[in-house]
Amino acid sequence: MKITEEMVAYISTLSRLKPDEAETARMTAELEKIVSYMDLLSALDVDDIEPMSHVFPVKNVMRPDTVEPSFPREELLKNAPGRADEAFLVPKAVES
């Protein structure tokens, strides 16, 4: 597929970018190289290759999900700079 400067201008408009003429020319050449490489990859025969999500085998390293008692609420709140009943008081972050 041939990438034209008109295509780059259209993509730039969609992206809300405003490249000058030199940047448009450079981007056209770079996108042409990318598309050429994708065409090369599309030509490869991958029928006998199993799809994978990672190049290396990935093993889940998280601990098992077990139910355990939580930390005592009073212990958590004892050093809080401000509290209301069983909750932390924090400065207002959003103006209404």
Q: What class does CATH assign to 5-42?
A: mainly alpha
Given the structure tokens 């999500």, which residue do they identify?
Answer: 53
pTM: 0.49
Tell me the mean pLDDT per 10 residues along the chain, length 96: 91 94 94 93 89 80 86 86 85 80
Give the whole-angstrom CA distance, residue 39 versus residue 22: 26
85: left (phi over 0), alpha (psi -120 to 50) or beta: left
Q: What pLDDT is attached to residue 84?
A: 86
Given the structure tokens 């259209």, which residue do they identify?
Answer: 10
Given the structure tokens 């991958």, which residue do they identify?
Answer: 46
CB burial class (10 A; 0-12, 13-18, 19+) of residue 8? Answer: buried
